[in-house]
A and B are shown apart, each in its own frame.
Chain A
């Protein structure tokens, strides 16, 4: 299992553990160099997931968004969850597609659902919602039933079709 102590000192991480999952929280400006170190020097060669949490109105939360990277070392089976916190108005992170190409669509999904911009991503478009959609639906200030987008279509009657 990876010894986190040197990394904690080097990157100023906060570490916690829940049911055998080790998690570290890192500042947003150091997340790229941490992930780069983890990949190149510690063998985390697979990026399982990139996802995001919106902490709006969450009890005790200090930051708006938490972006989560789940890593796997395929030769030792070691897993690590890296989290970083970012804030409005322009939540921005560097892309990790340069490290793991598989981050491509996951970052697009995070962008689509939460509006987090990944600088340096080569094709940051919406992936699930239609291109003309202008909100970020998984943000907590977006109503569950939407703002009427689902009703915004022409009605075709039988005589005109």
Chain B
């Protein structure tokens, strides 16, 4: 928190700061995570929250399963294409201000699951603030990411949440890779089957 120089004439138990800093300080120390745990990383997320690693030390122990009560989404595990609309909907249901941590290789990039069903990184479709690498990441890594997150909120947070309005670009890679387009053009089609047609780019 930024302390402004003491004003003459104020008593000792009064200090002055900016509203932004005060709001960010409060927000960053009481993050309420939304555990979007779809696979094995979710187990590690549970371990992080439980007594041995104790996420409560950083003020983020209140896991809520209702997106309306959360402000930090932790995507832990692979997200398949049937789940992605759910993920996006939950993200949109979370009230501002909100942040997102993508935990594990699968959530960040699809990991080893480079198949038709698995989304190759959630950052292609929702905004992600922090990536935690690893398969699965150790709880210490998640805690480090949380501390990093708090740091980021302290540094960039504003009372009105206006730091988000500048982020009009998607953060992830473009959803269709050139390689992907080439592959879908070359894919052998079966006659007469009603199949998905890739967009013409």
Find out whether the CB atom of A148 lies under 8 angstroms from the CB atom of B195.
no
* A158 touches which of B85, B127, B199 (Cβ 8 Å): B127
Find out whether the CB atom of A135 lies under 8 angstroms from the CB atom of B167.
no
Find out whether the CB atom of B124 lies under 8 angstroms from the CB atom of A147.
no
Kindly state the separation between the CA atoms of A139 and B189 in the bound complex, as whole angstroms: 12
Chain B residues within an 8 Å CB radius of A146: 115-117
Size of interface on A: residues with Cβ below 8 Å to B: 31
Chain B residues within an 8 Å CB radius of A145: 114-116, 180, 183
From B172, which residue of chain A is reached at the shortest CB distance? A155
Does any Cβ of B come within 8 Å of A75's Cβ? no
Residues of chain A from 110 to 146 with CB closer than 8 A to chain B in the complex: 128-130, 133-135, 137, 139, 141-146
Q: Is the interface of A mostly helix, strand, loop or mixed?
A: loop
- Flag B37-49 by CB within 8 Å of A: 1 or 0 each: 0000000000000
Residues of chain B from 102 to 135 with CB closer than 8 A to chain A in the complex: 114-120, 124-127
Chain B residues within an 8 Å CB radius of A147: 116, 184, 187, 195-198
Kindly state the separation between the CA atoms of A161 and B161 in the bound complex, as whole angstroms: 12
Does any Cβ of B come within 8 Å of A6's Cβ? no
Q: Given A134-B196, A151-B124, do A156 and B168 touch, yes or no (CB 8 Å)?
A: no
Chain A residues within an 8 Å CB radius of B172: 155
Find out whether the CB atom of B196 lies under 8 angstroms from the CB atom of A149.
yes
Size of interface on B: residues with Cβ below 8 Å to A: 44
Does any Cβ of A come within 8 Å of B92's Cβ? yes
User: Distance (Å) between the CB of A57 and the closest chain B CB?
Assistant: 11
Does any Cβ of B come within 8 Å of A10's Cβ? no
Does any Cβ of A come within 8 Å of B88's Cβ? yes
Find out whether the CB atom of A156 lies under 8 angstroms from the CB atom of B125.
yes
Kindly state the separation between the CA atoms of A89 and B194 in the bound complex, as whole angstroms: 12
Q: Given A134-B194, A155-B124, A161-B126, do A148 and B115 touch, yes or no (CB 8 Å)?
A: no
From B170, which residue of chain A is reached at the shortest CB distance? A155
From B168, which residue of chain A is reached at the shortest CB distance? A159
Kindly state the separation between the CA atoms of A143 and B182 in the bound complex, as whole angstroms: 12
Kindly state the separation between the CA atoms of A146 and B187 in the bound complex, as whole angstroms: 9
* B183 touches which of A88, A128, A143, A161 (Cβ 8 Å): A143
Find out whether the CB atom of A156 lies under 8 angstroms from the CB atom of B115.
no
Residues of chain B from 157 to 196 with CB closer than 8 A to chain A in the complex: 164-172, 175-176, 180-181, 183-184, 187-188, 190, 192-196
Find out whether the CB atom of B81 lies under 8 angstroms from the CB atom of A130.
yes
From B176, which residue of chain A is reached at the shortest CB distance? A151
User: Distance (Å) between the CB of B38 and the closest chain A CB?
Assistant: 15
- Other contacts beyond A143-B187, A148-B181: 20, CB < 8 A: A88-B190, A134-B195, A142-B116, A143-B116, A146-B115, A148-B196, A148-B198, A149-B116, A151-B120, A151-B124, A152-B175, A152-B196, A152-B199, A156-B91, A157-B169, A157-B171, A159-B164, A160-B168, A161-B91, A161-B127
B interface, CB within 8 angstroms of A: 81-82, 84-85, 88, 91-92, 114-120, 124-127, 164-172, 175-176, 180-181, 183-184, 187-188, 190, 192-199
Can you spell out 6 A-B residue pairs with CB atoms less than 8 angstroms apart? A89-B192, A143-B184, A152-B175, A158-B167, A161-B126, A161-B127
